[in-house]
Structure 1
Amino acid sequence: MNVKLAIISHPLTGPIFRELVEEKKLNDSVLYFEATFGNLCPILATIREEKNIDVIVTAWGHAAFLGDLNIPVVLIKVTSFDLLNAMSEAKRIDRQVVVMRYGTPFENLSCYSELVDMKIVSDCYMDRQDAREKIDRYFRFGYRTFIGTSLMCDLVSEMGGKAIYIYSKDSISQALDNALQLAHSRREEIEKREQFRLIVEHSGMGIITTDKQGVCVLVNSKAEEMLNMKRSELTGRKMKSFWPISKLAESLAHGEPYTQQIETIHRKQYLVDYIPTIVNKNPSGCMIVFQDFATVQKAERTIRQNLYDSGHFARYQFCDIIGQSQEMRKTIHLAKLYAQNDSTVLITGESGTGKELFAQSIHNASGRKGKPFVAINCAVFTEHLLESELFGYEDGAFTGAKKGGKPGLFEMAHEGTLYLDEIGELSLELQSRLLRVLQEKQVRRVGGHNLMPVDVRILAATNRDLNTMVLQGKFRQDLYYRLNVLHLKVPPLRERPDDLPHLIKSLCAKYGVADQADEIVSELLPRVQQYGWPGNVRELENTVQRLVVVKQGESFSEEQSLSDIIFYDLSIGQLTFTSSSDNSQQGVSLVKSDKTEYPNLTEFKKQNEREMIHQVLAKCNGNKTEAARYLGISRATLWRKLNF
């Protein structure tokens, strides 16, 4: 930060100033002027033209003539050390001395008289004539040695006396140091004030400040525009003459902020924050920050739309979760409690139970609602691709890297929630990187060096037993404890059979057959209650969707549709599905109707799939596209199942 000093010196101190400027390497920071007592007019004109001088350094006599420059002045101070040095020099010449300066005499010189064993007289002068007359008088009284400042020294020398200049090099050096410190502080203060002015003027929000009595002190341009009033009309006025006074008065009285207040001014609504100014623990004024309420609402809609367009938003809430059973009510209640806390949640449960539904609901019930909800399935990416997705990468980090780099999901989820599905599929190396981010709350892009702070809540989900994986060395124990702060277990569908009717009706509404929901429930319920649903709600949805599609076809009998098409994977007509206490994860036992064990489930399924596909193809006259649509699979999947 370059500062500028103006030194106004007498010819007697000029050599000392120039020497010190060289020593302190201040040549680029100093404007140097020399003048005798009272002859400052040309210098003052130059200083006024400069306009960028931070501090003036001068002696006592010159300071009286600086007038209204409005620039801080640092005076060269006379120290006790200066007085003693000057008196010691005077004593070698005479036993009596006059100490004289401009304006006011030096005080308490009697103590120096005893110390140096001299007669010391202290006096002052007000102008050149006064100084000459007093010096002449002291000459008549026998005084020939004088200690003082520049004018006195000049006159004494002219009149034949001995003059000792009172300022030392140390005093002048100290004055320069003080001036530099003051100049830097002043420049910093000016820059901060200008920065504050720019913030206030260009904040995009109306800003008004008041004093403790509620009088308007400052108004920015945006406030002028929003209120359609000039700041000259507002400044100095009582706020109550144009502003609702209730919350402002409370803020000024109690020193408490009031935020997100809706105020109506001139029939227009504004969103207002009242922020008191506190000095020595007491309110001394208030800053009022306000925005057009309609503009705020429009901005929120835009943000929400951007989140929707990017896919980084949570669609579901707790009211969207279908479940009246005791198990689901307990799970939902616990999840609502977790939503009020910002700790990491580990959501466990079998595939298809709705773990992400709970994750989105927790986000939407938390303080991060409206902020990004970013989800990623850790099982569908390779290790290196997942790393770049999570943490982002810099330009040129690897072959094929996007020009300019790419932010990772941690950055995109800043201030929101990051949902890590299938967390158990992470490699040990990625587990280590994830653990570090969770601990440090900072992320470094792939190929980068800078750490970026992130504020993200983590919700993780898995259908695997992480505790067992820890014992097997497949999952880091420290990461497991870091994730498993709050644990939510989503119950499988087989443990809440009471929810089946509600789920089926909801799915019927989703697929546009709400008017047939009761009929479909009565058709399905006796059959689905016998089944363990290893695919849980996702499998149930596929079944209902298949039923809806098949019931729209005219070439299938009801019996054939139910037995062959809808449950072709389950083979309800040939097999019986019952819960098994021996397998709590899948909960299904597959046996033939004659109770003999079937030897190979995979081959059984393949055989039945082919048979069912051929039946559907026959009904569709060999049309593979139509058959794929009826079966709820793609044409490519149909081709693969027929050929492998």
Structure 2
Amino acid sequence: MVSPRPPSALPQIVAVGFRRIHALLQALAPTFSDKARVTVLDVGFEQAVARIRQLQAQQGVDVVVAAGSNGAYLRQHLDTPVVLVKVGGFDVMQALAQAKRLADRQADHGAAAVGLVTYEGMAPDLSPFGELFGLGLQQRSYRTEDEAVQCVRELREQGVQVVVGPGTVADVADAQGLIGLFLYSPDAVREALDDAVEVARAARIELAKRERLNAILSHLSDGVVAVDLQERVQTLNPTMARWLGITPEQWLGQRLGEVCPPLSLQDTLRLGTESLETIERVHGKTLILSRMPIVEQGVLTGAVISGQDPISIQRVDRHIRTRTKPQASGPRYTLQQFMGDSAPAVALRALAEAAARSQATVLLVGESGTGKELIAQGIHAASDRRELPFVAVNCAAFTETLLESELFGYEDGAFTGARKGGKVGLFEAAHRGTLFLDEIGEMPLALQSRLLRVLQEREVLRVGATEPTPVNVRVVAATHRDLMACVQAGTFRQDLYYRLNILRLEVPPLRARLDDLPRVAEALHARVSARLGLSVVATRPWLQVLLAQAPHHGWPGNVRELENIIERLLVASVLPGQLPDAGTLKRLAPELFDAVPMPVASALRTGQQGQPAAAAAVTRPQPSEGELLKALQAHGGDRQAVARHLGISRTTLWRRLKSMSGG
């Protein structure tokens, strides 16, 4: 493995050669000073291996350059890439031509033979060349230095006077009284050094990629193991090593199926197919494993297995569900879902639609359960901000400290336990959209002043921050309290009240629009039935029993109370022995009977046949169609006045008019 070095350092090249090639390397090394640092060693074989390993430990070595048998030996004993000095055809022909000239001079008469000794194999294509030019070429090949000596001796015995070969061969020829010509030219050595520089550059690039990949893998929460085609481990990140109780170095280079059979990738390598999210036990730990082949440029080059810890997945899932605020995803309601044809309902929808066309702050006032958030969402959905965030927060659901951090956010390290990196507040989360502040009357005085500044300056200052952040937010506030009374009591800031009370909409209670109750109840009945998986037709008798008693109830909980009672009745409708009659209704929803006028309630409780005047008023004979039409004409179509004149409920009047119209 290459030792770490600064990215700007030049590649480290060690050129190995003795005798003749050493001189060539020494002469050419300075010409590469701008490309690489070349160290030339005048040693060979075992000594060269020892010296290179020493340099590797000291400064790192990218590539080794060597020739002949020396180069072959270094390739077998070093992990570092070795570039061999190669002899080209022109070098051989040039050396043989020179050898022929020298041989002819040495010969007393006739043509003289030339010897060529090469490392590991002869060149058969040179025989025709030798015959063409009358070289009398004699070829030999060697693997060891002893074989080289024997080859030269044989050539001498055959009368060869000039021998061409590597440095070892040329030196042996000189020692035996022959002329030894060095086979390697300066161009061949220069080309080998150029190749070494390119190999080093490519290795540097590959090393940088591998180090980057390892850095990424080391930070993954998933465990990862990558293998080559022989299933030898190439990469094992710290997460997987920690799960398995090992160090990455213990498995590198080992066959994964042998060191850990449960993680085997043999089938993936054999079939080239992926296997995703299987649950397996590995070294006593449950993991979710995925196996995938590695394909590069259409060729299978290895495989990878990744593992996930189920406990971590469960923890992340809890974190997401805790942090996710569904109300910030957008409005669920429109103004048309505030149902009713009564005068209060129609007037409220008209005012809300007008408010949606404005950018001013809206204050919704009304009892709990009347549908203030529905109106707030409807205003947002009808405005030009409809495609932008709608963020809702209940000011009564948080302590003062938590509400401050929720609304305004905080900086990293703003307080003990603050999330790393800080937190975006709801004002920033609702940027360019709408922020719904429910139960604004419950906001602590200290936060009211901060809210007032945001509304005035249109900028928010996070907790612990020094620079404010501009925001463009449309604020809709809601309360069931009398804010002016709170101002007089000193629990609500007067200046904030007037800042909020620009567009004021009063959401009427259900008892003020009883004419709408049947339609609202029908819609709630359909919604609750769908939620409970019940048939609307099968449960309709329960709704009819409820509607018969509904006009006598004050509905202090408004629409929310109506929905709760409907759900209570529908849940009971599936129980054996439960019938949709007044007796069952009285037992399941006693609050409906508690609201009935005392004489009527008394009559219901005692079962008396004779009813007092108040009860008789409730059960008086129903008016005829003529009486209804006459009363409508006399009161100008005011249904509330007509119902009061005839002594019937508005629900009864609505039902009679509907039957008269054939609806």
TM class by shorter chain equals 0.3 to 0.5
Structure in which a larger fraction of residues adopt helix:
2
